[in-house]
Amino acid sequence: MRWAQLLRRIYLVDVLACPCGGRRAIVADISDSEVVVAILAHLGLPMEAPPIARARSPGFDFT
């Protein structure tokens, strides 16, 4: 399955749907970590992933 199909299946969101009614196209894939860090720093966003939280039990109540 393509990644866009997986996201649609899991989150019920079509990431390639454009508000204009058309379809978006992927024009680049940034996978070089140095480039990603430079872009995040320029935007003032955290450059490190947040810590992984412990899993909650299935009976956890959000209220």
Give residue-wise pLDDT tens across range 26-35.
888 899 999 9
DSSP-derived 3-state class of residue 23: strand
Q: What is the pLDDT of residue 22?
A: 92
Q: Which residue has the tokens 């058309």?
A: 22
Say if residue 63's pLDDT is above 70. no
DSSP symbol at 19 = T
Distance CA 18, CA 21 (A): 5
Report, in angstroms and rounded to the nearest whole number, the Rg of the chain calculated over CA atoms: 17
Token readout for 45 is 């966003």
Closest CA to 35 of 50, 26, 47, 25: 47
Q: What is the pLDDT of residue 29?
A: 87
Give residue-wise pLDDT tens across range 25-61.
888 889 999 999 999 999 999 998 889 888 777 776 7
Q: What is the pLDDT of residue 7?
A: 87
